[in-house]
Amino acid sequence: MNRPIVADYRLLAAAGILSLFGVAMVYSAGQTDTPTAVASVYKSQILWLVIGLGFAYAIGHSSVRFIEWMTTPLYLFSIFLLALTLVIGKGAGTAASTKSWLAIGSHRIGQPSEIAKVTVVLMLAKVLASQRETPKSLLDLWKPALVVIVPWVIIMLQPDLGTGIVFIGIFFAMLYWAGVAWPLLILIASPAISLILSFSVGLWGAWFFILLALVLWYRPYLIEGIVLMVLNVATGVVAPLMWEKLAPYQQKRLMTFIDPTADPRASGYHVIQSKVAIGSGGFFGKGFTQGTQKRLAFLPEQHTDFIFSVVGEELGFLGVTIVLALFLWLFLRITQVAERANDSFSSLVAFGLMSGWFVHVLVNVGMTLNLMPITGIPLPFFSYGGSFMLASWLAVGILMRISGEGRGSALSLRR
C-alpha cells in the first residue's frame, strides 16, 4: 500500500498556494470592527487544512487500484450518511432551514454532501469505465444516471440546490469526458432546459423546435425520442407548478438573481453589498484586512459564501486575477493529468473532480457579481468549512496519485 510517488509539484503548488491564500482570507474575514465569532475561525481552518494534508499524503501513498477497490463501499457509505441527514440533519449558516448538516444532538459533525461529491465522482468513473461501449442512447446511460440521481434526490430533499447543481455539472462533464456525443448530452439536458425556458412561452416554443430538429437528426430509438419530447412538454408545463413547490427562500434566491434591487434590504441585499465591496476595491484593493464593507459588516457571510468578495474588496482586481489565474492553472493541470492518466477510471476521476471544483468556482465567484444565483455553494480552498476543506484535499490526494501513476510522470518512467 505504501508506494512512494514523485509528487506532482505543479498540482500541489497550485492547491497549496490556493489553500494558504484561502486561510489568509478567512483570517481577514474575521477582522471586523465589531468582533464576532468569525474572528477565530481561521484557526480551525488551519487545523482542517493540516488534517486534509494528512489525508492527501496518505492517499498519495496508496494506489489508484486501491482507490477503485474502495469506491463502491465509500459511495454506499456516503449515500447512507446523506440519507441520515434527512433524519437527523441540521441547518446552519446561510442555509439554516435545510438539513445538510449531520449532527448528533446540537453538535454538528459535518456535511456528508461534501464527501459525497468525491465518492460520486469515483463511483461514476467506475461505472463509466466499466462500460465497453460509449453510451449512444439514453437507455445506455441508466447506470451512470442512477449513480448521480440517488444522492442528487437526497440532496434536493435536504434541500440544497447548490450541491444539486454541482452534481449535475459533474455528471455532464464526466459523460463528455467519457466520449458521449454532444447532441446526446443536449438531449439529456433538454428537460432541464425546458424547465428553465418554460417561463417564457415564446422561448420554450423555439427551444422545442430546435429539440425536434435535433431528435430527427440524431435519430435515437423511436420510444426514446417520444419519451424525450413528452418529458420536455411535461417539464415545460410542470415548471410553474414546481415553482410553487420550491421553498420560499429558494424562490427568493432565484428572484433575487433575476433582480437583486427588487428588495434591497432582504435577499437582494447580499448581492448588492457584495458587488459594492468588489467594485469599491478597485484595481489594487483597500488593503489586506482593510475592507470597509467587510469590517463594518455590510458584507454578509464574508467567511463562507462571500469570501471572494473580501478578496475583491481588499486585494482588488489584481488579487482577483491572481486567485482566478491560480484556479485556472490548477484546472488546466488537472485536465492534463486526466489526459495522461493510465486508465479510463483514473482519467474520469481526475476530470470529474476538476469539473466539480470548476462548477464551484464558476457559481460561487459568479454569485459575488450577481452573474449566478445565490445557491450557497462554497469556494474551494477559500470558504471556511471543515468538510469541504477535507474533501478538497482528499481530492488533491487522489489527483496526486493519479498524476503520479500517469503517463509521462516520473513514476511511470521509472516503471
Binding site for another protein (CB under 8 A): 33-34, 128-129, 131-134, 176-179, 273, 275-283, 292-293, 295-298, 312, 316-317, 320-321, 324-325, 327-328, 331-332, 335-336, 338-339, 344, 347, 351, 358, 362, 365-366, 369, 371
**Which residues, other chains included, contact 124 with Cβ-Cβ below 8 Å and sequence gap of 6+?**
144, 147, 148, 170, 171, 174, 348, 352
Nearest approach in angstroms of CB 289 to another protein is: 15
Residue closer to another protein (CB basis): 206 or 262: 262
**For the chain, what is the largest distance between any 2 Cα atoms, rounded to a whole number of angstroms?**
65
Whether residue 159 is preceded by a cis peptide bond, meaning omega within 30 degrees of 0, is yes
**Type of residue at 72:** T
Residue closer to another protein (CB basis): 118 or 128: 128
Nearest approach in angstroms of CB 54 to another protein is: 29
Contact 310, 299 (CB under 8 A): yes
Residue closer to another protein (CB basis): 153 or 332: 332
Nearest approach in angstroms of CB 63 to another protein is: 20
Q: How far apart are CA 175 and CA 173, in angstroms?
A: 6
Nearest approach in angstroms of CB 355 to another protein is: 8
Residue closer to another protein (CB basis): 70 or 272: 272
Q: How far apart are CA 138 and CA 33, in angstroms?
A: 56
Contact 299, 274 (CB under 8 A): yes
Contact 338, 354 (CB under 8 A): yes
In the block, cell 442512447 appears at 137
Which residue from 169, 188, 160 is spatially nearest to 85, judged by alpha carbons?
A: 160
Grid cell in block for residue 133: 461501449
Residue closer to another protein (CB basis): 59 or 299: 299
Nearest approach in angstroms of CB 343 to another protein is: 8
Nearest approach in angstroms of CB 298 to another protein is: 5
Question: If you write DSSP's letter for every residue of 326-359 in order, what string do you get?
Answer: HHHHHHHHHHHHHHH-SSHHHHHHHHHHHHHHHH
Nearest approach in angstroms of CB 110 to another protein is: 29
Residue closer to another protein (CB basis): 115 or 337: 337
**Type of residue at 231:** L
Residue closer to another protein (CB basis): 111 or 347: 347
Nearest approach in angstroms of CB 83 to another protein is: 30
Residue closer to another protein (CB basis): 2 or 34: 34
Grid cell in block for residue 348: 474520469
